Amino acid sequence: MLKEFKRNLNVNELEGFMNQFNQSLDELASGKAEHKQVHQLIQSLLHTQNEEGYWPLIPSPNVDGDIRVAYWFMPTYIASAFLMHYYLQADAKNKSLIEDALIKGLQASTKGSLNGHGHDALRGRIQAVEIFKKGNVIKFLEQYPNLAPGFTTLISKIAEGFNNALMSGETRGDWGEEYQEDIKKALAGFHLQEGTLIFVYGTLLKGRSNHNRFLSTAKFLGEGVINGFTLHHLGSYPGIKRSKKGLVKGEVYKVDAQTLSQIDMLEGEGSLYLRQTTDVICGTQQFYNVSTYIYNNRVPKDSTIPFEAQTWGKAPEKEYVWYAGFGSNLLYERFMTYIEGGTSRFNNRSYPGCTDKTPPKASLPITIPYKMYFGNNSGSWNNGGVSFLDLNTKAETLGRMYLITKEQLREVGIQESNRPNWYNQAVELGEHKGIKIVTLTNSGKRPQNAPADNYLNVLKMGLKETYPTMTDFEIMKYLVACGSQ
């Protein structure tokens, strides 16, 4: 049994200390540890826990992931399990002495979701559960589920994920190593409700065509997101395919064996779709080894549904477009006057707004490959010039694009004035995540005219809002260049 917990060891001492620390937990779990030794180590743990709740063996977590797991998180798991085991046997007085440290340790343990590093995530999760089982975590969660509720939820989700992995046969690590027996051992003793977790993203979603038939009595666990997949529109239903950076929105349910079999038949499991497992993020929680259905055929070009336009089937009548503004619409408040309507405080002009007054789903900076200039005499801006693009001159114009519906863009164009001398031409600037980027300007070159001060002020505010790292001098220099011949 260790006498004390030591921090900031040299490299040669780390592995040996971890072995001794593990052995100390084994002695406590087996009942072979002497009370005096246990008390001595606990006093050391209480004095060496850092402010964030960890018991690290290295000075900083800013190291390679495998080292961080081994010498930052793992000693924290062991120390927390040690305190947990003692807490279960202690009287009220001794419980109160260690309770704060135990809670902080369990909260710190959840920060890494008990995962191993990278491709070793599953192996690390199994190891972490085995450590806490030495601390009698099953009994602890039964007696004190609300002491560290985040930890309680995490362990429950991991146990459900292990159970799902065994039921689905998805028990291999990223390198193909088999963990079935290790998962069975880690799962032993947990009391789980029967059922399989599934992630749905198409016709089984709430409000979609197959939901009531298959999932009306299933337990809904929340809305979630899976990473490493893209969502594709395939006509009357969607499909997902694996990808490096894709994200897909959906819902998580727990279903019984009969319902799972029925959904397998619906999806054509084994031919049209393959049921495989993945992890799902649901707000601040995470579900592991959740079954979902991956499309087993090629997908058409341009079928990707971007994350911003999900979930599938939501408002199917709406088609989205990125509208790229480069003048006063750089400022969100100004642009929203075209969407919501009302009187603009910048020029005291009233606008009807769009029929659909839903705000943009997203906005992003964009560099437009044409020169911006100031032209025409705008009655809305004290007869000064306003921003146009010279489509015959290549340059870099700073813009801001908004994800809105095509109908909203049409109505914005009307309010901008789509008459021959104004913004009569839509120019496509490419795509972002499968959605076209469009801006509005004049098809020709309008007579140049210096802008009024109130218009320039809106441009300055919009540039600062869209490009917050730009200095006032850089903004002024940019606008002067736009006004040059």
The Cα–Cα gap between 352 and 339 comes to 8
- Strands (E) in 285-370, as ranges, are 285-295, 304-305, 320-325, 342-343, 350-351, 363-368
Q: Write the DSSP symbol of residue 72.
A: I
> Which sign, positive or negative, has the C-alpha torsion 92, 97, 98, 101?
positive
DSSP 366-426: EEESSEEEEEEEEGGGTTEEEEEEETTS---EEEEEEEEEHHHHHHHHHHH--STTSS-EE
Bond before 337 cis per omega within 30 degrees = no
Q: Write the DSSP symbol of residue 359.
A: P
* φ and ψ at residue 484, rounded to 5 degrees: -80, 160
Give the position of tokens 């309010």: 415
**pLDDT value of position 327:** 95
The Cα–Cα gap between 164 and 245 comes to 25
Q: Counting Cβ atoms within 10 Å, is residue 416 exposed (0-12), middle (13-18) or buried (19+)?
A: buried
Angle at alpha carbon of residue 358, lines to 356 and 362, rounded to 5°: 135
Helices 472-483 and 453-466 sit at what angle, rounded to 10 degrees? 130
Q: Which residues contact 390 (CB under 8 A, 6 or more apart)?
A: 370, 371, 372, 373, 445
The Cα–Cα gap between 230 and 247 comes to 6
**pLDDT value of position 315:** 54
Helices 121-134 and 149-168 sit at what angle, rounded to 10 degrees? 120
Say which of 160, 170, 251, 267 is annotated catalytic: 267
Tokens (6 digits) for 5: 């917990």
The Cα–Cα gap between 336 and 320 comes to 17
Q: How far is CA 261 from CA 115, 195, 212, 412, in A?
A: 31, 12, 16, 50
| Polymer length of the chain | 485
**pLDDT value of position 485:** 67
The pTM of the full predicted model, rounded to 2 decimals, is: 0.51
Cα–Cα nearest to 334, from 397, 287, 400: 400
The Cα–Cα gap between 240 and 276 comes to 12
Give the position of tokens 């990278």: 118
Q: How far is CA 451 from CA 121, 375, 456, in A?
A: 58, 8, 6
Q: Write the DSSP symbol of residue 446.
A: P
Question: Is 303 in contact with 234 (CB distance < 8 Å)?
Answer: yes
Cα–Cα nearest to 83, from 50, 112, 110, 49: 49
The Cα–Cα gap between 451 and 106 comes to 61
**pLDDT value of position 245:** 87
Query: Is 267 considered catalytic here?
Result: yes
- Find how far residue 268's CA is from the centre of its chain: 30
Cα–Cα nearest to 100, from 65, 36, 147: 147
The Cα–Cα gap between 366 and 397 comes to 8
The Cα–Cα gap between 241 and 257 comes to 25
* φ and ψ at residue 178, rounded to 5 degrees: -90, 125
Segments making up each domain of the chain, as ranges: 11-187, 196-309, 320-482
**What are the pLDDT tens digits along the chain (485 aa)?**
788 888 767 778 899 999 999 999 999 999 998 989 999 999 999 999 999 999 999 988 898 888 999 999 999 999 999 999 999 999 999 999 999 999 999 999 999 889 888 888 899 999 999 999 999 999 999 999 999 999 998 998 899 889 888 877 788 888 889 999 999 999 998 887 678 899 999 999 998 999 999 999 899 989 999 999 999 999 889 999 999 889 999 999 999 889 999 999 999 999 999 999 999 998 777 888 899 999 999 999 889 999 988 998 875 456 899 999 999 999 999 999 999 999 999 999 999 999 999 999 999 999 999 999 999 999 999 999 999 999 999 999 999 999 999 999 999 999 988 789 999 999 999 998 889 999 999 999 999 999 999 999 999 999 999 999 999 999 999 999 998 86
Choose which CATH entry (3.10.490.10, 1.10.490.10, 3.30.565.10, 3.50.50.60) describes domain 320-482: 3.10.490.10
196-309 and 320-482 in the same fold: yes
**pLDDT value of position 244:** 87
CATH code for the domain defined by 196-309: 3.10.490.10
The Cα–Cα gap between 485 and 481 comes to 9
